[in-house]
Chain A
Amino acid sequence: MKLAAKQITAAVVVLAAIHIGLGLLPEPPFTASMNLVLFFTNLFVFHAAAATLARRSARTVVLFLVGYFFLFLLLLVWLGKTPLFILLVVAYASLFASPVLLGFFAIFVLSFVLLQPYAFESFIPLALIYSTLWRVRRVTSRFVRLCLGGGLVAFSVILFPLIHLATEDSVQTLWHSFIRPEVREALWLSLLSSTVATLVVGLWGIPLAYGLARVNFPGKRWVESLVDVPILVPQSVAGVALILLLGPGSILGGVLESLHLPISGSLLGVVIAQVFVASPFLIKTTMTAFEAVPLRLELASRSLGASPAATFWRISLPLASRGILVGATLAWARAISEFGCIVLFASSPVTAPVLVHTEFLRAGVSESRPIAVLLLVICLWVFVILQFGQTLIPFALQRPRRERRS
């Protein structure tokens, strides 16, 4: 519908009449100045709506009005927050033309107004789910979207406590916790030891994965299953097993001691425990990555005069590097989060997860929480960096790119 000048004038007059009427009530709901601001707000809303709703169907117009009155009832009548109403209704009128932004706006209102105490915790997952579903809206069936959306909603429940934890502490508390030497030492030790552990796993895990990916032999399935055993073993069981083998009083522990490589009180113990629990993640992922490298590329390389070792360095390793990086990220994450095995086997020096535990026992959740948040933030950042680093590897046996919407 296209508005003629006459209609516009009529609408402005009606608006003015409503506001003047409100102001003349025996007990006006707003002060005069607030009423004036609201009048101009509504004028703007009308202006924006007239622009975006021109030539749109009557249904869209009704939808717009429903949204407006919903905000009106929610914010003015129920909550009585006039400034917030002005802010949101202006945003609403401006965003209405774009369905994507309108969706985000709805999520914003839902999480920041209705679910106020958990605003960030609900906004972040909901916005992510919404943007995901928006992107796939034309490429999949409704059933697939339902599976995806439902699964993501359930999954965000898992993320909920983490986001809640991350938003709990102010930057000051985090900083106060961070400048405590034992906290910094524990964080540093965790970062260092899990990085070393990942490198150690890579050193023997990558060759093992390559071998398993390239050779078939009877019983290979059993070897592959054995690689997974550290995932199956409960952490405390692994800790006890390592104590028996390398702990105080054991033969191997004594040998290491005499070589000036003490297990207790040194980085070595922590790294051993982390290598033990983290190795399957790197090996399995790397194996899949090597299996994805077509054998004929290696054959072509051999026929061109490259030895098997040269073929590995020049063809297989570069082509599998993305998968290897993913595996290393997983192994690193597993190593840094290891607690049960380390607390039994190598409780000193103290790693960050162990420190969270001891602080919790000593002073309760308020003391351990900032350390947990710091650890969470560091882990997430490293995770994000590595995930991003993956995409920097340009050549790739990457998954076929998502088909572009036409």
Chain B
Amino acid sequence: MIEIQHLGSRFGDFALDDVSLRIGKGEYWVLLGPSGCGKSVLLQTIAGFFPPATGRILVDGRDATAEAPEKRNIGLVFQQAALFPHLSVRGNIAYGLRARRVPEAEARRTVDELIERLGLAAVLSRPVATLSGGEAQRVAIARALAVRPVLLLLDEPLSALDHNARIELQAELARLHKELGLTTLHVTHSRDEAAALGDFLAVMLGGRVVQTGTLANLRENPRCPFVARFLGLDPTVALLRPPCAASCLDQPGCCPCETDDEKGEG
């Protein structure tokens, strides 16, 4: 279980403001928000690349806030697959196992299993630079899964793919989650992905988590016009509710008088 408590940080133009999340074991969370809302900063903070100014990150009850990224055992998949171009497909998948000095035979078994599970047998002999976006992203997922992470972070993993590859990989992610019961935090700005994959949603705006819950929950009861708009609902349904936070009101699409402004959407 991953607990994020009152995380706050500032990194250039991006800021996190009192972000709290509680991701239970085996849950698939989708973090939904427009570009520049701080989703990626949150992800990289959880991965350990930016130390937060305030707040704590607990991994299975252990305080990991100050731990180095390599000690956290948190898998990370980027928007661009970020495969190591000088290693083979197999070398990429085995990278984490090599770094942990897992015995060769065991590493081999793990890699073989992942190759089979993700259907990568056909691309094994190809240089990674020649893989298509979808294939590369599969390898990246296999690479992240090889070390059996306590949490899998997906940073807009489908955004750079063409339509067909996106549909395919989306189904693949859903299947993997069902089979392996991975604890996953998936960042996206696409509500289709959120609807298709997420057990739970967290909607983020301006460095804050505005609302969390299941999709049905959020649909029924959007907390403010912004959430409603972002979920593709008529923003006026939320107009009667009080605004969620002062900062939310400043955002385009949240203030009632700006409902015509399309900027708030995806």
Contact = CB atoms under 8 A, between A and B. Distances in A.
B73 interface: yes
B99 A303 contact: no
A406 to B, nearest CB: 20
B245 interface: no
B75 A395 contact: no
B85 A303 contact: no
A306 B85 contact: no
B49 interface: yes
Interface string A308-342: 00100011001100000000000000000000000
Contacts of A297: 82, 84
B147 interface: yes
A299 B70 contact: no
Interface SS, A side:
helix
B42 interface: no
B100 interface: yes
A305 B72 CA distance: 8
Contacts of B228: none
Interface string A229-255: 000000000000000000000000000
A192 interface: no
Nearest to A297: B82
Given A296-B78, A310-B99, A303 B84 contact: no
A299 B86 contact: no
B187 interface: no
Nearest to A307: B70
B74 A305 contact: no
Interface string A385-406: 0000000001111000000000
A302 B69 contact: yes
B47 A299 contact: yes
Given A302-B69, A303-B69, A305-B70, A319 B96 contact: no
B85 A395 contact: yes
A395 B82 contact: no
B5 to A, nearest CB: 21
Given A296-B82, A319-B86, A304 B49 contact: no
Nearest to B69: A302
B80 A296 contact: yes
Interface string B212-253: 000000000000000000000000000000000000000000
A319 B86 CA distance: 7
Contact of B86 (A300, A302, A304, A395): A395
Contacts of B144: 303-304
Nearest to A306: B99
- Chain A contact-residue range equals 20 to 34
Contact of B100 (A305, A314, A315, A319): A305
A294 interface: yes
A31 B85 CA distance: 71
Interface in B78-115: 78, 80, 82, 84-87, 95-96, 99-100
B150 interface: no
A303 B75 contact: yes
Contacts of A304: 70, 75, 95-96, 99, 143-144, 146-147
Contacts of A314: 95, 99
Nearest to A393: B86
B85 A319 contact: yes
B84 A301 contact: yes
A318 B86 contact: yes
Contact of A294 (B47, B68, B69, B82): B82
B205 interface: no
A319 B76 CA distance: 21
Among B49, B99, B143, which residue has the most Cβ atoms of chain A within 10 A? Answer: B99
Contacts of A319: 84-86
A304 B147 CA distance: 7
Nearest to A302: B69
B136 to A, nearest CB: 12
B101 to A, nearest CB: 10
Interface in A257-314: 294, 296-297, 299-307, 310, 314
A301 B69 CA distance: 10
Interface in B38-90: 44, 47-49, 68-70, 72-76, 78, 80, 82, 84-87
9 contacts: A299-B69, A300-B82, A303-B70, A303-B144, A304-B95, A304-B99, A305-B99, A319-B85, A397-B85
* 10 shortest interchain CB distances as A-B pairs: A395-B86, A304-B96, A306-B99, A303-B76, A302-B69, A305-B99, A296-B82, A300-B82, A305-B70, A305-B100
Interface of A: 294, 296-297, 299-307, 310, 314-315, 318-319, 394-397
Given A301-B99, A304-B95, A396-B85, 17 more contacts: A297-B84, A299-B49, A299-B76, A300-B82, A301-B95, A302-B49, A303-B72, A303-B76, A304-B70, A304-B99, A304-B144, A305-B96, A307-B68, A307-B70, A319-B84, A394-B86, A395-B86
